[in-house]
A and B are shown apart, each in its own frame.
Chain A
């Protein structure tokens, strides 16, 4: 059984692009034509002769002991090929991104609603569903540990993981804690230096990534006893690293190929169906496909950590920040996932993009019986930004200052120091970003003649009466790349050969294209560095070294950087060849227009001729500069690779009588270092802003005693085109000297920064304090 029999050959094979531009332009996506034709094979589109459908049985309870599991009735159903429990797992029983604390299938207890307990493989998805229903699991249901108070009192409420089970530096139900102290910390003496002090408590609900392509993939057992998995993920190699021990296979026998990915946003960092499909495939000897329903998807991936935050800021009468004191409590749910790194981000970025001489930050990630939380776009910085930006508005009001001016007065610029002691050694134009957002013309006043412009729109809830406009500003800071000493690298192979008398570059990486346009940028870099038109994108797979994760706004920086290095190496080999064979002595050799050129001597030779039938292939690994772990108690350390800043202005119309909010405009101004593909960069900012709109006014996974109440797109609302306003974007391109081409990761900063501007605008319209997001109509009408 080989890949060739998997339907969906087009993008699982190579994608050729006959022409296009280099960096700085916005050529068409290599996968674009396949996508608009409906021919791009997503992980849920795959098909294999003889394939079975896999399905997980999930716990209905957030916390329970499993007394018994009886699979006999399920196995007896015609069309069922296998029913597996943890007892059928050949290798390690636990896995995890940072801490291996999550069982591949529940063992003796369940810790969250939706935890997988057993697996079924059957010849039809409906048969698999019915079989799963026939598995009899006897539970002893326990009171779930769901609130901060319960989590922090394990003596009374119990442990999510018994202390003897801890696999990390956990204690009580605290999964991870990070502190940052700078200056003199926050003491009574420091407090006394402030003329004005403002305090606030803030809350952020649990947001879902809500990528549209459900978790899915196809596992094909191989003749060598291994398995080939075609899957939608953010990081092929870390999937494999977690899968192989559970499957009791060496890594080289667990081969992954990236199938089409229908969005990710952090929700595909953790494993979902990967191990399950492979277990079933290896057990039955048949290909197994698993596709989650939307309902199952809500239980099948981690979410954004909900947060409770307490902030205290002090400032002088003229608006200079004196201190910030903050505690952020993140609910990590039942398993660690990336909670330690999320807490690290919240602690190290939780002061915001401001110079504050004295800081005391504490971020705590809890274990609970709520759904596991982990990575989502913005990763710990989003929650904090709602806290510190709400505080800036509160402080401005207390001081009688303009909120933008207060921010600008305290804004970071290059050379300033983070509370971690790290100096910001690249441009940090925070004040300018705000100024540009402020200077843009405001949208015209409400035109109530078309109902569709109004809050409530065609529901005909108002004709303009009770509608008040508000304007709000915010700015945010996000780290780019993996932090705190992680050895973060990416690998790229570039091959240049002559095909049909023309030079063709092939780029092979394991980077997960999740929609962001990494493949477009890789082709652009190859064109720029090699002076060619035609580029072939090799499918991402584990045949090549790791590209690291498509996360943390890092992939253009990291894998783009690797492609650049590999292409430069190819170029050097060609120049050497020319010097040896053709005696070139020019010091200004370059590749352009499909030829080797010299500025002084003109065209020396067409590339195809120099290549002949001897292709050149080079593989390179790209590392960013090293970072260091943060001291656990003081948070001191060179923790982050790069910082990314975005400022927003939101304009809203609010029906203050009904509590309905209509976004009129959301402006984003962002420093992107260098826009390798301006269209894709703007697309990232639009998308990032829209997820921030969702968090501001719509999106929350509603929980009741650890149970999800809205696991569907009927009940969990993400912004539609009617909820989303015009979003002008202004780019600054101030190069970062440490980064390839000077670029700066762009995908997350707008998700961090935009939410507070929207809430600020609603506050201005309504006069409400609004300390919790998402803001709901009942918060605006005092009917909650």
Chain B
């Protein structure tokens, strides 16, 4: 089948898609967006988290055909139009929240979604929001630091307006 959707603001088409393929497979193997990761492919690890029509989902659990005509935003679409790193991306780097980095794309999308709905989350709120994203390297401490840092920078920038 043929699937046409919008990925990071760009219209993409995938031909000869087998009906069993996931959105994750189409992103990674057919439209050149391998940033979303394939750690478990059963919705447990969150490494493939993308926005689907503005809602974070596990791309591995979405059948390719379901995205026909819809909007997808992946880690590759988080940075600004000028290519500058988004605050969450910069905060993950500054805080040392990236080790192997395989969980990072999913965590960035999930964090972006958290801060969009709650710019000043408590620690318990952060933990709850990120509990569907596994990380095996960092022990999450520096991820917590990164989210706090991103929140403070975003809020600070807003307060300064």
Contacts and interface: CB of A to CB of B under 8 A. Distances in A.
B131 A212 contact: no
Interface string B115-136: 0000000001011101111111
A44 B90 CA distance: 25
B100 A515 contact: yes
B96 A683 contact: yes
Interface residues of B, number: 58
A262 B131 contact: no
B117 to A, nearest CB: 18
A38 B73 CA distance: 12
A80 B135 CA distance: 36
Interface in A690-738: 690-691, 712-714, 718-722, 724, 726-727
A212 B138 contact: no
A32 B98 contact: yes
Contacts of B100: 211-213, 261-264, 514-515
Contact of A683 (B94, B99, B101, B132): B99
A212 B85 contact: no
A687 interface: yes
B148 interface: no
Nearest to B100: A515
Given A212-B45, A686-B138, A722-B131, A38 B36 contact: yes
Contacts of A680: 96
Contacts of A311: none
Contacts of A686: 138-142
B40 interface: yes
Interface string B56-92: 0000000000000000001110110000010001101
Contacts of A214: 38-39
A452 B123 CA distance: 10
Contact of B102 (A37, A39, A263, A722): A263
B20 interface: yes
B93 A39 contact: no
A37 B35 contact: yes
A38 B76 contact: yes
Contacts of B41: 293-294
A537 interface: no
A331 to B, nearest CB: 23
A687 B139 contact: yes
A40 B34 CA distance: 9
B89 A714 contact: no
Contacts of B126: 721
B101 A294 contact: no
B42 A212 contact: no
Interface in A721-777: 721-722, 724, 726-727
B53 interface: no
Contacts of B127: 452, 721-722
A36 B100 CA distance: 11
B35 A39 contact: yes
A210 B40 CA distance: 10
Interface string B28-60: 110011111111111011010000000000000
B139 A45 contact: no
Interface in A437-464: 450, 452-453, 458
A22 interface: no
B23 to A, nearest CB: 15
A26 B96 contact: yes
A523 interface: no
Contact of B38 (A36, A47, A291, A458): A291
Contact of B138 (A265, A294, A687): A687
Nearest to A716: B44
Interface string A611-626: 0000000000000000
B103 interface: yes
Contacts of B38: 44, 214, 291
Contacts of B33: 38
Interface in A2-48: 7-8, 26, 28-29, 31-33, 35-42, 44-45, 47
Contact of B85 (A31, A37, A452, A687): A37
A683 B137 contact: yes
A212 B39 contact: yes
Interface residues of A, number: 65
A713 B29 contact: no
A713 B35 contact: no
A208 B20 CA distance: 29
A699 to B, nearest CB: 11
B93 A126 contact: no
Given A28-B93, A42-B37, A683-B142, A35 B136 contact: no
B128 A722 contact: yes
Interface string A243-283: 00000000000000000111111000000000000000000
B97 to A, nearest CB: 9
Contacts of A42: 34, 37, 102
Contacts of B108: 36
Contact of B137 (A7, A37, A515): A515
A718 B134 contact: yes
B119 to A, nearest CB: 19
B130 A721 contact: yes
Nearest to A516: B99
Contact of B141 (A40, A514, A726): A726
A689 interface: yes
A29 B102 contact: no
A458 B37 CA distance: 28
A212 B47 contact: yes
Contact of A31 (B40, B45, B101, B137): B101
A32 B93 contact: yes
Given A44-B38, A712-B40, A33 B102 contact: no
B30 to A, nearest CB: 10
Of A210, A263, A293, the most chain B CB neighbours within 10 A belong to A263
Contacts of A29: 93, 98
Contact of B79 (A26, A37, A44, A124): A37
B144 interface: yes
Nearest to A40: B101
A713 B99 contact: no
Nearest to A124: B18
A212 B139 contact: no
Contacts of B101: 31-32, 35-36, 40, 260, 262, 515
Given A35-B101, A515-B100, A713 B139 contact: no
A209 B137 CA distance: 10
Nearest to B16: A124
A679 interface: yes
Interface of A: 7-8, 26, 28-29, 31-33, 35-42, 44-45, 47, 124, 126, 209-214, 260-265, 291, 293-294, 450, 452-453, 458, 514-517, 679-680, 682-683, 686-691, 712-714, 718-722, 724, 726-727
Given A686-B139, A721-B140, 10 more contacts: A26-B96, A28-B94, A37-B35, A39-B76, A42-B34, A212-B102, A262-B39, A686-B142, A712-B40, A713-B45
Q: Which 8 residue pairs across A and B have the least CB separation, nearest first?
A: A38-B35, A515-B100, A686-B139, A262-B102, A35-B101, A38-B75, A690-B139, A713-B44
29 contacts: A26-B96, A29-B98, A32-B93, A35-B101, A35-B104, A36-B98, A36-B108, A38-B33, A38-B105, A44-B37, A124-B18, A126-B18, A212-B134, A212-B135, A214-B38, A262-B37, A262-B39, A263-B136, A294-B40, A294-B41, A517-B99, A690-B138, A712-B40, A712-B42, A713-B45, A713-B134, A719-B139, A721-B130, A724-B139
